[in-house]
Structure 1
Amino acid sequence: MTTPAERKEIARLMLECVVLSIEGGSEQTTLVCTWAGGRETTHHFVRPVRWTDQFSRGPALRARIVDLARAGQRPPTIARTLTSEGWLSAEGMSFTAAKVRAIMVRMGLPLRGLSLSAEIERSEDELTVAELAHRLDRPLGTLYAWVRYGWLPVRRVQASYREIFLVRLEDAQALLEKRQAAARAPQAWTPPPPSTL
């Protein structure tokens, strides 16, 4: 009778190639195994991701949360509704009130009623950071880092119980183009000085 270690070794000898593919940066993952003799087996599975923004159905999830919030549901009720509808969190687990509350805050939604962004006056080209993340398809944390480093100018507006950052779309697109151009440019490398002992 073979041991688990021996079975693993046999599988390694029979496997010729393993290809792991991730759909964009989402949770949808495909594993293709090519075996000796050319036979292939394909396996689809869902991997844990860091942010719900990475979900392949992220826009649908966010739209559902907005609909439930506008219907007057609070985070605990929204979490139960999402779970009953089969939605899973970024960790592949059922939604909790805390997770829903965090998503609502990142989206600029209050814990009750309409979006805070609806309370403020702004020009047509101004977006909240959450709206900008969706528009540019960039992680929310990246945009907040740009704001924190002073790379992305913002206008601070007080709405109800918290402050909202408004960003001009033109400014964000200019910064994005500048960073993309810098990434494409050849990088000069200077060797470090020799260490002195």
Structure 2
Amino acid sequence: MHVDEWLQAIPPVWICALVALVIGLESLGIPLPGEIVLVSSALLAAKGVVDPLWVGICASAGAIVGDSIGYAIGRKGGQPLFDRLGRRFPKHFGPAHIAKAGHYFHRYGMWTVFFGRFIALLRILAGPLAGALRMPYWRFLVANVLGGVAWAGGTTAVVYYLGRVAEKWLKGFSWVGLGLVVLFGVVTTLLVKRRAARLADRENEESAAAG
């Protein structure tokens, strides 16, 4: 059963609660498909299954609260926490991942927390790593709130309106419209990640040359 089919089988209030829970746990540092759940819920909102406003609110709240808890855990656990996580989840918390995320934090500061919300790796690491690096909480909180609202609210709004437009244009072929929306989202995500990877490689080359 696909994620959207599974979500349709539960009441709207539980859909919103599930969105907040999954995104909150992902933001806390647990590798979960928060983005997939958010997009699927926004598509259901476009089909009238759930209120898009509540999807955006719950997703934003989950992101902000989860990141704040992750910050507290990282501040208390420090580097030993990431060493343990690296041994248990090498694909998400390996030394290379931590070093790359740490590089962004040292170079861009609170902007890493804001824009990290839009990148899968940093979305998981931002909170705990900010705490471990002793970023002042007020700076973290400002970037966390703005990034959480922009990512969760923006994603919900874009997917919702694209879904509504697709349904209006294609009526009897709504599945085609939803397929196009998903395809658009996948292509956009890949392009953004490819661009981010190129920028990261360029920065690494510049750092190596400077060294």
Q: TM-score, normalised by structure 1?
A: 0.29
User: TM-score, normalized by length of structure 2?
Assistant: 0.27
